[in-house]
Structures are given as structure tokens and as C-alpha cells.
Structure 1
Amino acid sequence: MLFETEIEQLTLTLLHDKDGFTLAYGPDLLEGDSPERGYGDVVLQNRLRAAIDRINPQIPPSARDEALKKVLRSQALTLIDNNEAFHCLLTEGVDVKFSIGSGKSRTDKVWLVDFDHPESDKNEFLAVNQFTVVENNTNKRPDILLFINGLPVVVIELKNAADEKADVQAAFHQLQTYQQLIPSLFTFNAFEVISDGWFAKAGTISSDYARFMEWKSEDGTHVVDSKHEPELETLVKGLLNKRTLLDIVRHFIVFEKTKERTIKKVAAYHQYFAVNKAIASTLRASANPGGHFAAEHPAVYGLPSVEKQPKGDKRAGVVWHTQ
């Protein structure tokens, strides 16, 4: 039997050992002669500014400053609208305008993350446990936050499987409370993770509990059976590794508009691997060498592989899509 603190330490170990996240203890960021943050700060601004400088050396410092201000400025009345606005800045770049002399100006983009090189030194991946946030005189402390370049893009809430009142669904309800009481943290959230140490699910700030989905594969080939294997380790290794995490953030999150509201959706594991497999197969069929893709092997579904088909044969295959 694992207690919640042990599940937390296990998760941090998996993040550090397997995915290379740097670890930090929340209270340490508040201490010292030059603390990184105050209780009301959810973005690690010095780390974000340093990342902007690393990624965008061609942009004048004043324009980089303006980009930082745009990121930190909330303009909408609702959490989902603020979240969507930030997602656009994160995935499409921050538009800035600056002088190039002789009375002329230029418009360019400032990037917050180096998506093209996920594991480069330009990106910093930090996992922080016990990160206290104070907002509107309310004090809350999520279990683990994952920061990319100082931005809190993933919130992980953990519960004790041995406690009947503290299961995965209780973790979901805890996150709903956080969204109500410390909404500024979730402006920058890509998705959320809930787990009791065995079962583990991921969803977005607009997902109800039924839409939180397991991530059942690390590589798209082996699918975990939760009757015999813990889902948490598979989710950490399969979803929260640097390459997949940035790929999900950039390409596999959408905002769907209805008459009543905006719904934020993140791809399930089988959708993610199937799409990347389809892209890789299309590139092969067109004789384009392409790049690196995470792919779910067709054998999982009893289908033949295209790996031995010649490049340029114009046969990309078929994708079966399910929710």
C-alpha cells in the first residue's frame, strides 16, 4: 500500500529518471535573499524570460519584454477564454513589432518554447511539488506542477488508492476546486493529470470526469492492462516525456465552440499514435523522409505493417478513428 506522499515521490522519480525533468520543492522557490516567486505568482518569470532570450536572440530585447508582458496579461473574463488565448501564444508564437531603423518597423514572432528541438538546452523542464498558490485570500497547494520554461503547463493531483474517499475521482474534484479558487494557475494549463498511484487519467480544464482518459501505452505498441499493470508509470513515460508532451501541446489540443460554451479537448493515446502513424505513412508513400513520429504499430489491431512497403508507392493506408 502506498500513501499519497509516496505516490508523489514515485511520480517525481519517474519524471526525473526517465524524462529528465529537474526537480524542485515548492517552498524552496519562496525562500532566500532572491526568491523566485511570491505566493501569488504562478509563472516563474525569470525562467520564462531566460528561455525567451535563449530561443529568440534575433529579436530586440525591448520586443522580448513586450512579448513577456503579453503572456502575463489576462484579457478575458473567463478561465477558458484566457486559457485559449494563452494556448495561441504558446503554439503560434507572440507577435511583436519593433524598429529596424530608417523609420521602418518589422513584425516577427517571439517563441516561448523551442518545439522543433524538444530536448535542446533552450527548453527547461521543471517538476515542482507542494507549490502553494494564494489567490483572493485562498491558499491552495497542488501536488505536482510541470513547468516548461517557467510556464505551469501540467497540474498533477494524486490520491491514496487505499482510502475509499480519496480515489481518482476525488483527485478530479480537487482539481475542479482549484480551478474555482486559484484560476490564474489554470490560465497556462495545457492539461491535467489525476492518479491514485495505480489508475491514471488526463483531461483538460473543461473535461468532465468521464472525459478524463487513460494513457495506456508508452510507445504505441504495448498497451497496458490496468488489471495487471499500473497506469501511472505508463502515463508518465508515455505522455509526459519531453518529446510527446511538446507534441501534444502543439498539435493535439483543440478548442471546440458550441452555442453554450467552449470545450477544450486533448487527444487520447490511440488517437495520438494513430495520427502520427498516418503522417509517417503518408510521408513514406510520397517518398518524403519526414521526421520523428510516435506511432502505434498496426499489429496492435491485427493489421499488416507498411514498414516494408517501398517509399513513394503512393499507398498511405487507412486510419480508423474512434472516440
Structure 2
Amino acid sequence: MKFNEQYTVENYIIEFLCGDRSFAPTQDDKKQVTQDGSAGGLGYEYIPPQEFTQLREFENEYIVSPLLLAAIKRINNIDDDEAYNIVREVKKIDTNEGFLNLFRNGVDIVDLATKRTINYRVVDFDNLLNNQFVVSNQFYFEGNSENIRPDILVFLNGLPVVDIEAKSPTASVSVNYENAVDQIGRYERNAWKLFLPNCFNVATDGLKTVYGVTYSPKQYFAE
């Protein structure tokens, strides 16, 4: 077997999150995961990169609209028209702080018929099984000054919330998790839109793993 980032550390992480990729967990399986962690990894859904590209119209899109739309409909029990309005509001957010507020508080929209303000959520904190956690790898993204391909991205209801960069411990004695941290920083600068909804990032070489919140300098990444 060829040992590199994809076939050692990256695959291990995906299996840890999603379990056996030939296994498609049912809703009952996901419930079992929340109880004892026994089925399908952590219960995240894996979508291969070739399938993931079909969910985006353009390669500079960081919001996966079909997944976000489905989540909004499911969480708020609303129809397509209402959900599309919320998706449009979400796409107007242009700061990391704005997305944090979205995750916490949802979106307020005025009903034109009743003039009432209605709150819609994009994350269900009361019923975690109502959310969709998706993992994809080698996600191609057209950045502002560099086109990037993050190793692993975790999406929450269609929004990219975690970037995981993996370096292989077999590649070179000079390659380790610090190179992954540097890569994350470069991605944040050169493809910053992808990190607007980001909550934190993970860097690993399979031997040591560190994490840091969005835009953290290297010295603030912690084990």
C-alpha cells in the first residue's frame, strides 16, 4: 500500500467520524451512536468528493445550498418557499462573528402578511439528530488568491465548520502537525470565504493532534 496523507491519517479520521464508509447508518443507528458510540463511528455521513461537487453550482461556493435548505425545512417544519428565503438571508452573512450569531440565534424574518417577526433556526440544539453532520475530503475550493483542497471538511447542515489537515508521519522526518497548522493559516488567508462559518480547525500528523479556533496563531493551537 502507498503510504501518504490520504491513505494513513486522513482515512483513519474519516472512519473515526463516519465508521465503515460502506455502511450507511439509519436514524436508529444514529440514535445508538449518541447512546454508546457503537455504530458507524460518530454517526457522521461521508460524501465522496466526486459526489460533493454535484451539490455545488460553482467551485467558489462554500455554503452547500441543498443540504442547508433541507436542514432548515426539517428543523423549522416549513415549506420550500420559506426555506429559500432563509437560505438567501444566510448567504448575506459575510463575517465569522455573523455566522456564530446565526448558529446561536438563528434568523429573524418579518412575515409580510402578519408583520410578525419569526425566528428560524439553522441548528437544532434540542434534538441533535435533526442536524446533518457531513464529512468530505479533498474538497476543491476556488479561493481569492489560491485554489485549495482541504484534506477533510466537516459540514453542519451544509455549512463548513471544521477543517482538518493531516500530514503523514511516514512522509519525512521534517513533516509534522506544525506543517498542517501552517497550511490552515495559509488557507484562511488565501481562501478566506471558506472559513466564514468555521468554528475551529484541527491539525494532525497521526502522532500529535492540535486544534485552534478560526484565525488562531500557531502558538494558540492546543492538544
For Structure 1 versus Structure 2, the TM-score category normalised by the shorter chain is: 0.7 to 0.9
Aligned match of 1:43 in 42, 58, 63? 63
1:227-238 to 2 correspondences below 5 Å: none
> What's the counterpart of residue 106 of structure 1?
116
Quick one: which of 200, 203, 209 aligns to 1:194?
A: 203
- Residue 23 of structure 1 pairs with residue 46 of structure 2: yes
Letter in 2 for 1:92: N
Match of 2:22 in 1: none
Shift of 1:114: 0.9
Q: Please say if residues 95 and 108 of structure 1, whose CA atoms lie closer than 8 Å, have aligned partners that are also in contact.
A: yes
* Preserved contact between residue 154 and residue 193 of structure 1 (Cα < 8 Å): yes
| Structure 2 SS opposite 1:41 | coil
**Partner residue in 1 for 2:31:** none
RCO higher in 1 or 2 (8 Å CA, sep ≥ 6)?
Answer: 2
Name the SS for the 2:150 alignment partner: coil
**Max Rg structure:** 1
Q: After superposition, what is the alpha-carbon deviation per residue over 1:226-270, rounded to whole angstroms, capped at 9, x for unaligned?
A: xxxxxxxxxxxxxxxxxxxxxxxxxxxxxxxxxxxxxxxxxxxxx
Q: Which one of 49, 63, 68 corresponds to residue 87 of structure 2?
A: 68
- CA pair 61-4 structure 1, distance change in 2 beyond 3 A: closer
Give the Cα–Cα distance (whole angstroms) in 1 for the partners of residues 17 and 175 of structure 2.
Answer: 23
- Extract unaligned runs of 5+ from structure 2: 20-40
Question: Percent identical across equivalent pairs?
Answer: 32
By how many angstroms is 1:28 displaced?
A: 2.4
Contact 1:27 1:131 (8 Å CA) reproduced:
no
Shift of 1:166: 2.0
* Secondary structure at the counterpart of residue 54 of structure 1: helix
Give the aligned partner of residue 143 of structure 1: 151
Secondary structure in structure 1 of the residue aligned to 2:160: strand
Match of 1:206 in 2: 215
Q: Secondary structure at the match of 1:88?
A: helix
RMSD: 1.8
Question: Secondary structure at 2:111's aligned position in 1?
Answer: strand
Mark the runs of 5 or more structure 1 residues left unpaired by the alignment: 76-81, 215-323
Distance in 2 (alpha carbons) for counterparts of 1:167 and 1:137: 25
Normalising by structure 2, report the TM-score.
Answer: 0.83
Q: What SS does the aligned partner of 1:105 have?
A: coil
